[in-house]
Amino acid sequence: MIKPRSRRGGGRPTISDVARKAGVGAITVSRALREPERVSEELRRQIQAAVDELGYMPDPNARALASARAEVFGVLVPSLTNNVFAEVVRGIYDSLSDSPFRIQLGNTHYSGLEEERLLQVFGSQRPAALIVAGIDQTPVSRKLLESAGCPVVQVMETGPDPVDMMVGFSHLDGGRTATEHLIEAGYRRIGFIGARMDPRSQRRLAGYRAAMEAAGLFDPRLVTTTPVPSSVSLGREMFRDALAKVPTLDGVFCNNDDIALGVLFECHRASIAVPKTIGIVGFNDLDMMQVAFPSITSIRTHRYEIGRRAVAMALAAIAGNRPEQRIVDLGFELKRRESTAR
């Protein structure tokens, strides 16, 4: 006599339990759950009743094994705590929350090598889609993405050569717009303060530089950067450095809002008038920018929407109707506020 292995799952009901109770074959239950339209009205009702009664939930592992496809979105971001990526993840999460798809989160810590490692690991799960931050994957990562056999969405940035799909905006244009705004407002010795200096920050810097050169105002001494992770306190310190280097500084375009806030606080502390003596522009437009005193001009970016759009595109591709527009530029918005209103 064959003794079935004692129920390892702690007695949770399986698809055969449901099938037995509903008086149908297991495969019909499977179909009723995944493609209800292929099952007759009546059986569907019976099966649903059995499912409800037993509290049946399909085992995602068995499903993934049998179908060679996990209902998982792999999501790679460079930071979990940076509000910018947290917002993107939230958008992804919310868009996925009433789908069967789960999220597999990976934190690359801004490291290409770690990204490669994670892509390798994620690949072994055959995810339904991959969403990765940025467009500067290493050649190895790119190859892994191309051979992943699933839709891939690069988010936060747009660029010329998508692996598959893209949702984001131009950081270069953002940097340029911010800088042009300062120039138009009458500032001349405009500094750039940037921490972390990941590829996106680099491009914001490039935009700054383009605008400054176009106006004949560029001076390398105006640029202050560090690879150190960004923070409000770092913003304060970097602003002091910048000011020590160029005492005639009359404006700053900051890498991001944290830095901008640090600059603002240091201005308060040193009794530097904003926007009169110094103009400040941030990047991302966190909620606090509009509340700060004076309120801080910033580039509003649509992080949550980027997450949502990325999921929408990936889901469409999974469903078989890949969007014809593979690169979606969600743009940005210059929010003019008191910190540059002189």
> Which residues lie near its own copies (CB under 8 A)?
8-10, 12, 57-62, 64-65, 67-68, 70, 80-81, 83, 86-87, 89-90, 93, 97, 102-105, 107, 120-121, 123-126, 149, 231-233, 235-236, 258, 261-262, 265-266, 268-269, 287-288, 290-293
On the CB side of 247, how many CA atoms lie within 13 Å of its CA? 0
CB 247 within 8 A of CB 219: no
Structure tokens at 181: 């705004």
126 touches, from DNA, its own copies, none (C-beta below 5 to 8 Å by class): its own copies
Total interface residues for DNA by CB under 7 A: 35
Residue 14 parent element (H or E): none
Strand 72-77 relative to strand 165-169: parallel, antiparallel, unpaired? unpaired
**45, 49, 53, 66: which one contacts DNA (CB under 7 A)?**
66
**49, 52, 53, 62: which one contacts DNA (CB under 7 A)?**
62
CA 100, CA 28: separation in Å to the nearest integer?
A: 19
Q: With respect to its own copies, which residue has the nearer C-beta, 43 or 242?
A: 242
Structure tokens at 42: 């009546």
33 touches, from DNA, its own copies, none (C-beta below 5 to 8 Å by class): DNA
Q: With respect to DNA, which residue has the nearer C-beta, 20 or 335?
A: 20
DSSP string of 239-308? HHHHHHH-TT--EEEESSHHHHHHHHHHHHHTT--TTTT-EEEEEE--THHHHSSS--EEEEE-HHHHHH
Decide if residue 230 touches DNA (CB under 7 A). no
Scanning 21-29, 115-123, 198-206, 331-339 for contacts with DNA by CB under 7 A, the matching segment is 21-29
288 touches, from DNA, its own copies, none (C-beta below 5 to 8 Å by class): its own copies
Decide if residue 2 touches DNA (CB under 7 A). yes
Q: With respect to DNA, which residue has the nearer C-beta, 57 or 291?
A: 57
Closest distance of CB 54 from DNA, Å:
11
Q: Which residues pair with 166 in a beta bridge?
A: 154, 327
CA 55, CA 59: separation in Å to the nearest integer?
A: 12
14 touches, from its own copies, DNA, none (C-beta below 5 to 8 Å by class): DNA
Contacts 24+ apart (CB under 8 A), 6-12: 9/59, 12/57
Place of tokens 């179908």: 67
Decide if residue 123 touches DNA (CB under 7 A). no
Q: State the residues that interact with DNA by CB under 7 A.
A: 2, 4-9, 12, 14-16, 23-28, 30-31, 33-34, 38-40, 42-43, 56, 58-59, 62-63, 65-68
